[in-house]
Structure 1
Amino acid sequence: MTHSVSPLQPDIRFSDPVPVDPVPVPDPVPSPQPMPDPPPNEEPIKLSHQRRRSARIRAC
């Protein structure tokens, strides 16, 4: 049997590597954004004690 050079192995050359200069990527600075307005269809949050007080006043 004779051994032949297999073409399956890639030809890798370590003697002359390609110089790769790392390019610094600046971090994106997020700009300050204002708080979004609540949707108009939402009711404002009401505290439970305010409801009880108004009910008590109506009961008197």
Structure 2
Amino acid sequence: MSGKRVAKANLPTRTCTVCQRPFTWRKKWSRVWDEVLYCSDACRRRRQPKSQPITEPRGRE
């Protein structure tokens, strides 16, 4: 622990990319806060998959 305390009212917040609800920083996210996109595991599971690149079907040669 860094020894630096922040009042709960001053914690950083983000908006979930799935449900559009705000969520606040959690200690377990301290090392990966820049990568956190979802407020919960449920929203992470419901996320829209990134579109896959379109590839040509392989024909027999």
Same fold (TM over 0.5): no
Instruction: Give me the TM-score of the superposition, normalised by structure 1.
Output: 0.28
Higher helix share: 2
Larger radius of gyration: 1
Higher strand share: 2
Structure scoring higher RCO (CA < 8 A, sep ≥ 6) equals 2
Instruction: Give me the TM-score of the superposition, normalised by structure 2.
Output: 0.28
